[in-house]
């Protein structure tokens, strides 16, 4: 859910229109990175920390860079830099969402195992899920609308 907020980068003008689908795919995948390798019962404290998020985002960005280099012959480091700007905010949005649940997050895990939570909502709260999905759809729609008007401006005023 929170990974869909990343089309806001398009609204901010940081993306070219041909990259939007790739960015959305990377953002959605990056937003579920913290939950990929933990049992269903407990959260992995390292992956739900800021340092773990930075490290996982960095490694995933390097992997995206190598995929781009393999298939499209683009620079690994430029692509990884571009991917990191998408992956790390998506990861942090996931942590923000998890800080609203009863499980919370462990922001400084390697140094302390203290859990942090803003408010203990249930992850399956229908009203909260609808609000998050609506916010994601709103931001995505604004991103597409912004790109549409930018394209019209480019055609009318070359």
Note the pLDDT tens digit of each residue in 79-108.
788 888 888 888 888 888 888 777 778 888
3-state secondary structure of 42: coil
Instruction: Supply the DSSP symbol for 48.
Output: T
HSE, CB side, 13 Å, CA atoms: give it for residue 53. 24
> Would the pLDDT of 16 be above 70?
no
Q: How many domains does the chain have?
A: 1
Which pLDDT band holds residue 40 (cuts at 50, 70, 90)? low
Question: Which residue(s) pair with 101 in the sheet?
Answer: 121
Q: What percent of the chain has pLDDT over 90?
A: 1
- Distance of alpha carbon 135 from alpha carbon 93, whole angstroms: 13
pTM of the model: 0.69
* Cα 48 from chain centroid (whole Å): 14
User: Residue 70 belongs to what domain range?
Assistant: 2-156
Query: For residue 120, what pLDDT is reported?
Result: 65
Three-state secondary structure of 63-131? HHHHHHHHHHCCCHHHHHHHHHHHHHHHHHHHHHHHHCECCCECCCCCCCCCCECCCCECCCCHHHHHH
> Does residue 43 or residue 84 have the better pLDDT?
84
Closest Cα to residue 57, out of 90, 28, 35, 79? 90
Q: For the chain, give the mean pLDDT.
A: 75
Query: For residue 21, what pLDDT is reported?
Result: 72
């Amino acid at each position: 859910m929170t990974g869909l907020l990343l089309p806001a980068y398009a609204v901010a003008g940081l993306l070219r229109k041909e990259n939007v689908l790739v960015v959305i795919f990377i953002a959605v995948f990056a937003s579920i990175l913290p939950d990929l390798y933990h049992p269903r019962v407990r959260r992995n404290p390292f992956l739900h920390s800021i340092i773990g998020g930075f490290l996982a985002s960095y490694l995933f960005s390097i992997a995206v860079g190598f995929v781009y280099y393999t298939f499209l012959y683009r620079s690994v480091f430029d692509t990884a830099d571009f991917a990191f700007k998408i992956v790390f905010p998506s990861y942090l949005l996931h942590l923000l969402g998890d800080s609203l649940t009863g499980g919370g997050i462990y922001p400084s895990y390697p140094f302390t195992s203290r859990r942090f939570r803003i408010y203990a909502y249930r992850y399956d709260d229908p009203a909260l899920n609808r609000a998050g999905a609506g916010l994601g759809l709103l931001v995505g729609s604004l991103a597409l609308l912004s790109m549409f008007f930018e394209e019209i401006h480019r055609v009318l005023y070359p």
